[in-house]
Amino acid sequence: MVRLTSSKRRPCTYLCNKHMIETALLRIDALRQQLSNEGCQAALISKLEHVRYLSGFSGSSGALLVFEDGQHLVTDFRYEEQAAGESPHCELVIAKDGMIPRVKELATERASGSRIAFQSAILSYKDFATLTADTNGIEWVPISGLVDPQAAIKDQHEIELIAKAQEITDAVLLEVVDRIRVGMTEREVGAEIDYQARLRGAESTCFGTIVASGKRAALPHGVATEKIVESGEMVTIDFGVFYEGYASDLTRTISMGPPSDKLVEVHDIVGRAQDAALEMAGESVAASDLDECAREVIHDAGYGDAFGHSLGHGVGLNVHEDPRISAKSEQILKNGMVITIEPGIYLPGWGGVRTEDLIVITGKTHRNLTTTPKELMIVDH
């Protein structure tokens, strides 16, 4: 028998505490200072991770308008209750005829004749055209790094959430290595990862789980396929999870049965490259120098052309964010940044190896949030 419940409205379950509100307001004040430095009087934040960073709102449709004397969260009817609970420090605006038209209308009401910054790397051309048609005296100013530098430096609470996400990730990998069998498909391995992550409290995985076996391990982003995992192959597994909005990231290459001499050799080189970078990682270190440090080890071992991607990236509300740890990066590591260190060697026709750890910069050194062993794991069951 189906029993009907009362139609009485349930209390809102999306609530934030005093500390969360105070933190969000401090972040908005820092943004206002940046706007003042840029000669702007307001900002449109449209990147969802940054909307959440500044407002606490975790829905999938929203924009934040920050003025000199207040902030407005624009969303739609689906998120009215959620936004009210998560973002009480923002004036809530429900868009009925489209997000950007409502943003434009609000900007005209509140800041006609002002310079309003917007995230030029996020806003689509269509939305930009809508905003800038009949500007009503508003000058829309493109700024690509409106929130990124601030968000790259994590506070203690953010670090704790990322550490918890990484703890889940480490536990999942060890469980999956214990469960993986010859004859499984890569997608079956990936499905096991997703399942184990949810069991341990993750909201979801951060990206398409990478399970690349045999020769496919030469693909740095070899997302799981129907290929069968065979005896004697290497398997590179790369995934991360979201926990309360914050991401993790981890990569290990395992051996299905006794490893070949070449796999042992390549795995050792990648490990030494990572160790060299970890030894250097700390506050005031140039991201490009960190990349060069690991790359030099791989180059000296004769595999320089086989390491084609950057050494790492920042992790936070997004699994790929500032700082960029690459040869072209002009960023300097700062206390509180959370970054990956993930050198790799990829040889078409043979396979590849990548080892990735997640660390937080703590003064002149760092704390490694990853606990999964670095030694080549051998599956013998």
Helices 186-199, 156-179: crossing angle, 10 deg rounding: 130
CA distance 116 to 146: 12
> Chain-centre distance of CA 40, in angstroms?
28
In CATH, 18-148 is 1.20.120.330: no
Closest CA to 361 of 249, 260, 286, 297: 286
> Chain-centre distance of CA 56, in angstroms?
17
Closest CA to 293 of 305, 306, 310: 310
Neighbours of 223 (CB within 10 A): 16
CATH entry, 156-379, from 3.40.50.1980, 3.40.50.720, 3.90.230.10, 3.40.50.300:
3.90.230.10
Answer positive or negative: Cα dihedral of 123, 127, 128, 134.
negative
Neighbours of 221 (CB within 10 A): 10
Neighbours of 73 (CB within 10 A): 26
List the chain domain ranges: 18-148, 156-379
Binned average pLDDT, 10 residues per bin, the chain of 381 residues: 44 64 94 95 96 96 96 96 95 94 94 93 94 88 93 97 98 97 98 98 96 98 97 98 97 98 98 98 98 98 97 98 97 98 98 98 97 95 75
DSSP track, 307-327: --S-SEEE-SSSSSEEEEEST
Closest CA to 78 of 65, 61, 56, 90: 61
Using DSSP's 3-state secondary structure scheme, residue 282 falls into coil
CA distance 253 to 276: 19
The pLDDT, as a whole number, for residue 185 is 98
The pLDDT, as a whole number, for residue 7 is 38
CA distance 368 to 65: 37
The pLDDT, as a whole number, for residue 18 is 80
The pLDDT, as a whole number, for residue 19 is 83
* Peptide bond just before 323 cis, omega within 30 deg: yes
What's the one-letter identity of residue 98? G
